[in-house]
Amino acid sequence: MRVRIFDTTLRDGEQTPGVALSPEKKLSIAKRLDELGVDAIEAGFPVISEGEQQGIKLITKAGLNAEICGLARTNKKDIDAAIDCGLKYIHTFIATSDIHLQYKLKMTREQALAKAIEAVEYGKAHGLQVEFSAEDATRTDRTFLKHVFSEVAKAGADRVDIPDTVGYSTPQYIAEITKDTIAATKLPVSVHCHNDFGLAVANAISGIQAGAACAHVTINGIGERAGNASLEELVMALQCLQFDGQKWETGINTKLLYETSKFVSNLVGIKVQPNKAIVGENAFGHESGIHTHGILNNPLTYEPISPELVGRTRWLQVGKHAGIHGISAMLEEYGVKPSEDQLKQILDKVKGIGDQGKQVTEVELLSIANEILSEHPIKRIVQLAGFSVSTGIGTMPYAFVKLNIDGVDYVGTDYGVGPVDAALSAIQKITGEITKVRVKEYKLDSISGGADALCEVTIKVEDAYGNVASAKSIGEDIVTTSVQAVIEGINRIMFKKTLKQKKIGS
């Protein structure tokens, strides 16, 4: 069975506190959503501002494959604003729960129903596709909800939507009212679930099991309060899990899920929590010795799906929970192959660091291995040939960087909010083009006091394929130390890539 994916990242997602998107940013996200394969994009709420209208107009003129929709309250002004933006599809809504009618709208049930019918008829009279939402449906009197949906269907609505506006429903109840709505309207039904109790995806799936044809979702589950049903979680659950023997299909290119998640996260400025399903940093990360041993023998032992299915790669972490097999596999990525006795010595040192409450990075692991093996196996593909920075009051920090990559010199320059930012931006200008590596995380710590304090910089870099490497540098000068850490990280990730290519070619 095919499920329609209605993405509201640009409307409900933008209502996340602290998020505001320019017209150009809206367009760039819409293009990514279209590439991802969503069926419909709710581009915004046209009546709220001129900038919102500009963004929606850019999207409607972009020639995207997805249907483009705009939100409108049940009044002619809102619907006219949508028409002026070139929209052919509106999502119109009015609250139907008694608490909203009494305290927000100051209306009777009959008045709200009349407004709903009027809006649907007005939209249809202007040649629009109309999807009607009964806001706060899950707290609406069940008999009245069925009556509202029945009447808007008679008025000509093309679709109806059941919004769980404050995430108040349970999977069982949303299934029941979904069946009510299908019976009352004979129309395609959507479910729009919020995550206030952490049940948004579960509720959306339950609605679909009960016959809903469409789910309203957002990338990374962003939205007001606790957010909306997460597109990536819903899509992968429908595709991979068995529900009474039934599987559902969507038009989503799942291999673009992680890339789209990162793009939206960076653009809206909301970091994805590490333990978030599918797209969280830790979703395919393993430390426990028991887990890594299982993963190395057969990934399905501790991974329900292949990370490549969603554009990810798995990664292993060393620490107090690590085992011989995981450490051996990590060292092998760098071409380091200790004996069993040497591996045990390395593992003992790793566990000792972990027992002190410290995280063991790849840098420490390789340092420990080098110490025990008395060798330095990492080839430096990228060499820092020179760099300089200039900064001061009244002038924007500027950096010049010269790198030698596999014997070829490259030069990069850039400005930044500070000298470190400028230097790292200049490096990324070179490595982003040549090696497709970018800085993912940057952490600065002071490890001694006084005027001659030492600083410690830890970075994590990532390539275009999701491979990650970390590095650390210690020094007196923050800029120099930061640059050295980044170069070290780039070398490590490129060395990993080189070894993988050799293995594939052998």
Contact 268, 28 (CB under 8 A): no
Torsion, Cα of 314, 320, 326, 328 (10° steps):
130
- Cα three-residue angle 66-207-103, rounded to 5 degrees: 90
pLDDT at 506: 47
Nearest to 174 by CA among 187, 184, 188, 161: 161
Q: For residues 49 and 68, what is the distance between their CA atoms, to the nearest angstrom?
A: 18
Nearest to 236 by CA among 278, 282, 198: 278
pLDDT at 199: 98
* Single-letter amino acid code for the residue at 199: L
Contact 405, 436 (CB under 8 A): no
pLDDT at 346: 86
pLDDT at 109: 98
DSSP state, residue 2:
B
Token pair belonging to 477: 């000068």
- Cα three-residue angle 57-61-64, rounded to 5 degrees: 120
* Single-letter amino acid code for the residue at 125: A
pLDDT tens string, the chain, 506 residues long: the values are 899 999 999 999 999 999 999 999 999 999 999 999 999 999 999 999 999 999 999 999 999 999 999 999 999 999 999 999 999 999 999 999 999 999 999 999 999 999 999 999 999 999 999 999 999 999 999 999 999 999 999 999 999 999 999 999 999 999 999 999 999 999 999 999 999 999 999 999 999 999 999 999 999 999 999 999 999 999 999 999 977 778 899 999 999 999 999 999 989 999 899 899 999 988 887 666 556 656 667 777 778 899 999 998 776 666 667 777 778 877 877 778 888 888 888 888 888 877 877 667 666 777 788 778 865 555 567 888 999 999 888 889 999 999 998 889 999 999 988 998 899 889 888 887 777 788 888 888 776 566 566 788 888 888 877 777 778 888 888 899 999 888 888 887 877 666 555 554 54
Query: Which is it for the CA torsion 416, 417, 423, 427, positive or negative?
Result: negative
Domains of the chain: 4-268 (3.20.20.70), 285-373 (1.10.238), 382-505 (3.30.160.270)
Contact 297, 326 (CB under 8 A): no
Q: For residues 484 and 102, what is the distance between their CA atoms, to the nearest angstrom?
A: 63
- What Cα–Cα distance (Å) separates residue 291 from each residue in 100, 316, 324, 415? 50, 10, 12, 44
With helix as H, strand as E and coil as C, how does 445-487 read?
A: EECCCCCCCCEEEEEEEEECCCCEEEEEEEECCHHHHHHHHHH
* Single-letter amino acid code for the residue at 138: T
Contact 194, 226 (CB under 8 A): yes
Residues β-bridged to residue 129: 89
Q: For residues 277 and 302, what is the distance between their CA atoms, to the nearest angstrom?
A: 14
Residue listed under structure tokens 């990075």: 361
Contact 160, 153 (CB under 8 A): yes
pLDDT at 361: 67
pTM of the model as a whole: 0.76
Round to the nearest angstrom and report the end-to-end CA distance of the chain. Answer: 43
Token pair belonging to 277: 């399903």
Number of Cβ within a 10 Å radius of residue 485: 27
Contact 112, 137 (CB under 8 A): no
Q: For residues 60 and 50, what is the distance between their CA atoms, to the nearest angstrom?
A: 15
The DSSP bridge pattern shows strands 315-316 and 382-392 to be unpaired
Ordered alpha helix ranges (H), 215-288:
231-240, 257-268
Q: For residues 65 and 14, what is the distance between their CA atoms, to the nearest angstrom?
A: 22
pLDDT at 492: 78
* Phi, psi values for residue 288, rounded to 5°: -50, 135
pLDDT at 144: 98
